[in-house]
Structure 1
Amino acid sequence: MAFSPVITGTGVFTPEQSISNAELVKAFNAYADRYNAVHADEIAAGTLEAKDHSSEEFILKASGIERRYVMDKSGVLDPEVMHPLLRQRSDDEPGIMAEMAVDAANKALAQAGKTAADVDAVICAASNHERAYPAIAIEIQDLLGIDGFAFDMNVACSSATFGLQAAADMVRSGSIRSALVVNPEICSAHLEWRDRDCHFIFGDVATATLVEREEDATGPHFAIRSTRCATVFSNNIRNNNGFLRRSRPDGVKDRRDMQFMQNGRKVFKEVLPLVAKHIGDHMSDEALEANDIKRLWLHQANKSMNDFIGKKVLGRDPAPSEQPNILQDYANTSSAGSIIAFSKYSDDMAPGDVGVICSFGAGYSVGSVVVERKG
């Protein structure tokens, strides 16, 4: 017997601290001036390249981002540090990702009118995990008091939609009645804040989505009509070790490749057609035309990328209400971006309205979820 999976609740944890473009530019330019002064002789000799200044105009034009939330702004804005100062927690304390995820999960449960007793599984789907094991998901499960099982997964910026597919498949098969898919993203910890080309991209956040059997829904919800995931290997977006910053065997530390890196031009050229075709094929298989789609909740990486995808999918420029953006306030929050957009811009959907949640990123990876408002 097959069961129908539905989304009954979502939650968003937003950090208290935020950084405006103006604050970020001031810190970066101070760092660049300090770097250029320290290395003045090498720069003059042509053996080292000087650091160019950043600007608010450059950031906004390149990304559409105006500000971002972070777990710690003091270290990021210190020209001598330029990374978040995250306190080392003892093994007896909740980890930072678990703490963020629990907040978002409780909000999702409250919206669904459910408690931890109603949940069978927890999937922690995120880009960068603070440790290899024990699984972050099991820690979240324990903190929430959930019976059942939990596991981590990582498909970079597509982690949330891949997690939703896994949850929906388990509910549909009857192996579980419900699952929490949580996406705690500590993106600020793996961003190279000293690189002008990317220092403005990421922010921190956590999202949570409750997926249940339709028969257990107690209020308005979204039916998961179908899901689709795809991956194609590429090195154009890569992170070799994240915030762990391990040194090389030859003792050289502070390797640039240990943090987020991307070839932006290649990503733009290669990912956009892949995503547009993926969504288009998914819609076609669901017998959906462009006019049948009420809303697109896309991965919040870059405004130009989303504008391109929306136009390809709908065959015209999407209205702001059809393709809501949140990256101007949150920046790129990796897997959580499309879920933030869905959580904040779905209440006005009427019964029968159809939309697509889609995320994409490193891998390359792309995941889409076709949902329909019910109740």
Structure 2
Amino acid sequence: MKRARITGVGGCLPVQVVTNDELAVRVDTSDEWIRARTGILQRHIVSGDENAVSMATDAARKALDHAGVSPANVDAVVVATSTPDQVFPSVGARVQAGLGMTSGFGFDVSAACSGFIYALSTANALICAGQARRVLVIGVEVFSRLMDWNDRTTCVLFGDGAGAVLLEEGGSDGEGVLSTHLHSDGRLGDLLYVDGAAGCAGTTQHLKMQGREIFRHAVAKLSAAVDEALSVNGLTAEDVQWLVPHQANIRIIDGMAKKLALSSERVVVTVDRHANTSAASIPLALNEAVHDGRIQKGDLVLMEALGGGLTWGSALVRM
């Protein structure tokens, strides 16, 4: 069976940084309140000409440069996003054009904060099935578009950004994407959702969340997804070098690290500086840890995420 491996990573964050203190000027909150409940200190918010396509394209270019691969040699672009610039064309198709690709295909995947895991799984399947040799997998979000900036329970949590990886066919046995595991339960969709969409009259088009319920489900479902990934591969938590989790809340991240008995030095955390960038959070964190030298070739990396849908999943990757 063909195997897919990550050969390049890249990221893009908006220029504008909004601190907790700056948010406190706009809504009834404080730096202390936000830090204590989430671990967030600041977030990046788009401004000027920045949007989903521009950030995704920039992150993709950096991933290609890191891998030393030309856009002409990429077969597909799979983008995870809940906040595209247009209903269609897809962000994937726009990125394809932005990179100057004249062949292949691009499309979007919508699975909220679990989107990158879903997109990685889809790209891996394309390579394993022989439909593509090189696939750009991108997570990009402009969640600032969905915020009710008067609601302190949600607007303090999210930020904008994009992260990308290049997935290529090849690699030795035991290297690359070992497995991915996807789940959803539509019965829980009202715990985290966006009220309406373009053209839906009488809706706010703002994000709505039952935070306590999401926290409760996150701990149980992510634990199960992690156990599933390890069990399928005949591995234990002791085999994991790095946990690269979805960056939603420091308490959830700490809980998963404790479950795996991983020290804080083995957990990649960006939620303090990026806030929750939804589908972009895992590739942004992976990009940071690869480029600063923490994650090395041969390291076993565990990724996990939960988002609206509810959707959740995990992936095990040998770098």
Q: Which TM-score band applies after superposition, normalised by the shorter structure?
A: over 0.9
Q: Is 1:57 aligned to 2:32, yes or no? A: yes
1:259 is matched with 206
1:103 is matched with 58
Deviation at 1:350, TM superposition (A): 4.2
Any idea what the Cα deviations from partners look like across 1:50-93, whole Å, max 9, x if unmatched? xxx31111111111000001113xxxxxxxxxxxxx77xxxxxx
Q: 1: distance between equivalents of 2:200 and 2:216?
A: 32
What SS does the aligned partner of 2:7 have? strand
Q: Is the alpha carbon distance of 1:103 and 1:322 closer, same or farther for their aligned partners in structure 2, counting shifts above 3 Å? A: same
Which of residues 309, 319, 328 is equivalent to 2:263? 319
Q: Is the alpha carbon distance of 1:349 and 1:12 closer, same or farther for their aligned partners in structure 2, counting shifts above 3 Å? A: closer
Q: 2: distance between equivalents of 1:264 and 1:173?
A: 39
1:10 is matched with 9
Q: Is 1:205 aligned to 2:161, yes or no? A: yes
State the AA in 1 paired with 2:304: C
Which of residues 37, 62, 67 is equivalent to 2:42? 67
2:176 is matched with 223
Q: How does 1:239-278 map to 2 (within 5 A)?
A: 239-241=194-196, 244=198, 247-248=201-202, 255-256=203-204, 258-278=205-225
1:140 is matched with 95
1:309 is matched with 256
State the AA in 2 paired with 1:205: G
Q: Is 1:337 aligned to 2:281, yes or no? A: yes
Q: 2: distance between equivalents of 1:139 and 1:177?
A: 20
Q: Is the alpha carbon distance of 1:343 and 1:266 closer, same or farther for their aligned partners in structure 2, counting shifts above 3 Å? A: same
Which of residues 94, 99, 106 is equivalent to 1:150? 106
Q: How does 1:166-177 map to 2 (within 5 A)?
A: 166-177=122-133
1:251 is matched with none
- Structure 1 unaligned segments of length 5 or more: list them: 29-52, 73-85, 88-94, 249-254
1:192 is matched with 148
State the AA in 1 paired with 2:154: C
What SS does the aligned partner of 1:197 have? helix
Q: 1: distance between equivalents of 2:280 and 2:94?
A: 19
State the AA in 2 paired with 1:325: V
State the AA in 2 paired with 1:298: P
Q: 1: distance between equivalents of 2:149 and 2:240?
A: 38
CA contact (8 A) 1:12 1:206 kept: yes
1:159 is matched with 115
CA contact (8 A) 2:92 2:106 kept: yes
Q: Is the alpha carbon distance of 1:352 and 1:13 closer, same or farther for their aligned partners in structure 2, counting shifts above 3 Å? A: closer
- Structure 2 unaligned segments of length 5 or more: list them: none
What SS does the aligned partner of 1:179 have? strand
Deviation at 1:130, TM superposition (A): 2.4
1:286 is matched with 233
CA contact (8 A) 1:297 1:358 kept: yes
CA contact (8 A) 2:44 2:161 kept: yes
What SS does the aligned partner of 1:369 have? strand
What SS does the aligned partner of 1:321 have? helix
Deviation at 1:245, TM superposition (A): 8.2
What SS does the aligned partner of 1:12 have? strand
CA RMSD across the alignment: 1.9
What SS does the aligned partner of 2:113 have? coil
Q: 1: distance between equivalents of 2:296 and 2:20?
A: 37
CA contact (8 A) 2:52 2:83 kept: no
Give the share of equivalent positions with the same residue, in percent: 29
Any idea what the Cα deviations from partners look like across 1:165-204, whole Å, max 9, x if unmatched? 1111111111111111122210111111110212211111
Q: 2: distance between equivalents of 1:13 and 1:236?
A: 29
Q: TM-score if structure 1 supplies the norm length? A: 0.79
Q: Is 1:365 aligned to 2:316, yes or no? A: no
Alignment length, in residue pairs? 313
Q: 1: distance between equivalents of 2:76 and 2:252?
A: 34
What SS does the aligned partner of 2:151 have? coil
Q: Is the alpha carbon distance of 1:350 and 1:55 closer, same or farther for their aligned partners in structure 2, counting shifts above 3 Å? A: closer
